[in-house]
Copies of this chain bind each other. A is one copy, B any other.
Amino acid sequence: MNIKLSEGSGGREMNSLVRDFRKILKVTGEWKHTDNDAAIVKINDDEYVCMTSDSFVVDPIFFPGGNIGDLAFCGTVNDLLVMGCYPKGLSLSFVIEEGFPKKDLDKILESIQAWSKKTTIPIVTGDTKVMEKGKLDKIIINTTAVGICTKEEIIDREVERGDKIILSGGLGEHAVALLSKRFDYETSIKSDSAPLVEELTMVKKQIKQAKDPTRGGLAATLNEFASKYNAIIEIDETSIPIKKEVKSVTKLLGLDPYVLACEGRFVCTVGKDKADDVLKELKVFNKDAAIIGEVKEIKSKKPEVLLLTKIGKRILHEPSGNIVPRIC
């Protein structure tokens, strides 16, 4: 048995591989959320350390709206932010192919520095390795973030029947921007890659659960929510924000926007009485933010995500297959 591309795609095959890893690694002890993107551990009366790590292998490394450096900063920072924890520092490790142009490396570093300055999250440690020409496709970056937070700050509150599901902006923009370089088409769409600092700072006290829909997209995130609460979640297709151009490009390429990775969006659950307020606040940052559905049931025997379409209801499954390799 050999590793397949699909096992890195963020869908069913990857989740199964990671479960195999966990069986061997036997993760135990005082850390929580170790099956999540970020893990957390209590260090004293009311302080927690949060940690998350991601490696970035995006191809191409430069694309409309960003580069691998933007993704490496924002992707990892967002994984802590959606937990409710503000990163205190970020490590930055490069593996570079021999012969890689230094001017490209400088551009990548400048992007990282710009976000670091804007968010005041410093790069505090790192590592640099070089592999012989032909042994690596250009460059890989790993970033790991660590943060300290209080219990109150952690976004992990009990979900109830009737809670609303909000998406903070349009789907598919990162993928459409990135693929324009691979498939050589013109597009006005830019990657949505950005740190979710301001949006989450604004609404973090009012929301119950949050997750950034990266690999596996909205479909993976909603299925994760459903499985965590044994919930039945119903989403209204007509309310899901997808820009017109994204719709037509994905249709042309035969891609499903619900499984494509976003790099600057989050999905959250909110009590129904607070949903309109949260939406209003999120619309300040992105006018495409929308209430896309609600939690129909919790503790169900058959947790699932249902998609209301013009022609009826269908199940929105956990994605599987290759989706788009090396999207981040």
Contacts and interface: CB of A to CB of B under 8 A. Distances in A.
Interface of A: 1-9, 14, 17-18, 21, 24-29, 31, 34, 36-39, 41, 43-44, 47, 49, 51-57, 59, 88-89, 91-103, 105-106, 109-110, 112-113, 116-117, 120, 122-132, 135-137, 140, 142, 144, 146, 148, 325-326
Copies in the complex: 2
A109 B164 CA distance: 40
Contacts of A142: 53, 55, 93, 127, 142, 144
A89 to B, nearest CB: 6
A24 B98 contact: no
Contacts of A24: 106, 109-110, 113
Contacts of A102: 1-3
Contacts of A326: 129, 131-132
Question: 10 closest A-B pairs (Cβ-Cβ)?
Answer: A8-B130, A53-B91, A144-B144, A142-B142, A135-B137, A39-B124, A39-B125, A24-B109, A1-B102, A31-B124
Q: Which one of A93, A99, A110 has the greatest number of beta carbons of chain B within 10 Å?
A: A93
A33 to B, nearest CB: 8
A170 B49 CA distance: 37
Given A57-B95, A125-B53, A5 B89 contact: no
A183 to B, nearest CB: 16
B146 A98 contact: no
A51 B109 contact: no
A31 B49 CA distance: 16
A3 B130 contact: yes
A205 B116 CA distance: 36
A26 B91 contact: no
Contact of A126 (B6, B53, B89, B136): B53
23 contacts: A3-B105, A7-B128, A7-B130, A8-B131, A9-B130, A18-B128, A21-B109, A24-B109, A25-B116, A25-B123, A27-B122, A28-B122, A29-B122, A41-B89, A41-B124, A43-B148, A49-B89, A49-B146, A51-B125, A51-B146, A52-B91, A53-B91, A136-B137
Contacts of A57: 95, 129, 131
A54 B101 contact: no
A137 to B, nearest CB: 4
A174 B94 CA distance: 23
Query: Which among A94, A113, A122, A125 has the highest number of chain B CB atoms within 10 Å?
Result: A125
Contacts of A120: 29
Given A101-B1, A135-B136, A124 B325 contact: no
A264 B37 CA distance: 31
Contacts of A123: 25, 27
Contact of A53 (B59, B88, B93): B93
Given A7-B128, A55-B142, 9 more contacts: A5-B98, A25-B112, A37-B125, A41-B89, A49-B148, A55-B93, A91-B144, A131-B137, A136-B136
